[in-house]
Chains A and B, each alone.
Chain A
Amino acid sequence: MSKFDDYLDSVMQDARALLGTTIKQGRDEAQEILEAHVQNSRSRLERWTKLLADGDLKKREFELLINNQVTLGRMRLRTVEVIGKKAALEFRNRLRALFIDKAFEVFL
């Protein structure tokens, strides 16, 4: 194998591992944030329905809370979008550094 093949193999091996860790961290964060929203929505809806039935909330107040919950879901999705972008950027930067570091390691 040529030195260049060694270089490529070495980069690919580390890049795969890097891809696994960087993207996985972002994906796990995003998943937990969205799952918590689903859980919260369920428990809040139960609570509000009871408050409405007991006369502690008016219909328009109930509607306001529902509108807000939908808005919060949308806001969380945008936050998750940013987490995904940041994870991709971090991966890109580390990959760039990896290409350079490995070149020094193998060729010099």
Chain B
Amino acid sequence: MQALDWQYRQRNRAATLVAFLCLLSACVTLAPYDQRAYENATSLKAKTLAMMAKSGEEDSYARHAEAVDALQVRLSAAYEYANGVLHNNEAAKNWRDLIGDDETMIGGWLAAWKHDGGVSGALLDELRIQVAEGFDTIICLEANKRQVTACPSLKTAD
């Protein structure tokens, strides 16, 4: 009986050891934390929100068209930067989603601004919340590449 018990414990121990060794060699790939990517997100968040505030003015699109183009170039550059980093799939996809198209996110806001000349107060308030959250999601993602860390801005309700 004692011999059987000893055998059982040995087998159990071996199985656990094998499981841990598998974990040690498991293939989890993740790009390292990137200070430049983090700064891209924080500075572009500030610039985009400042530009959004200007879109609330009537017939303001034409006046700011040049600055809008420059902002779009910087956003595209941030996406291209993230997309060029190995094992950085999630961050690159988040940038692409944040930039969006005519019907979503930053692209959707710009399309509405262009179409109407200015963005109405009610819509703009809501869009600013969403675009800020989009940037926060990217900032949180980047911060968590360094260390599992809390992202207070993503946990607070409106």
**A12 and B16 contacting across the interface, CB-CB below 8 Å:** yes
Is B134 among interface residues, defined by CB-CB distance under 8 A?
yes
Interface size on A, residues (CB 8 A): 51
Within the assembled complex, what's the spacing in Å between the Cα atoms of A81 and B97?
16
Which residues on B sit within 8 Å (CB–CB) of A36?
A: 154-157
A79 within 8 A of B: yes
**In the assembly, what is the distance between CA of A10 and CA of B93, in Å?**
43
Contact of B130 with A81 in the complex, beta carbons under 8 Å: no
Q: Please tell me which one of the listed residues B23, B103, B104, B148 contacts residue A26 in the complex, with CB atoms under 8 A apart.
A: B148
Beta-carbon nearest neighbor of B103 in chain A: A67
Supposing A43-B157, A82-B145, A86-B145 touch, asked if A72 and B28 sit within 8 A by C-beta, the answer is no
Q: Count of chain B residues with Cβ under 8 Å from any Cβ of A?
A: 48
Q: How far is the CA of A11 from the CA of B37 in the complex (A)?
A: 38
Complex CA gap A11/B156 in Å reads 39
A74-92 interface bits toward B, Cβ cutoff 8 Å, 1 = contact, 0 = none: 1110110111011111111
Q: Which of A29, A32, A91, A95 has the most CB of B within 10 A?
A: A29
Does A106 belong to the interface (CB within 8 Å)?
A: no
Q: A-side interface residues toward B, CB under 8 Å?
A: 5, 8-9, 11-12, 15, 22, 25-26, 29, 32-33, 36-37, 39-40, 43-44, 47-48, 51, 56-57, 61, 63-65, 67-69, 71-72, 74-76, 78-79, 81-83, 85-92, 95-96, 99
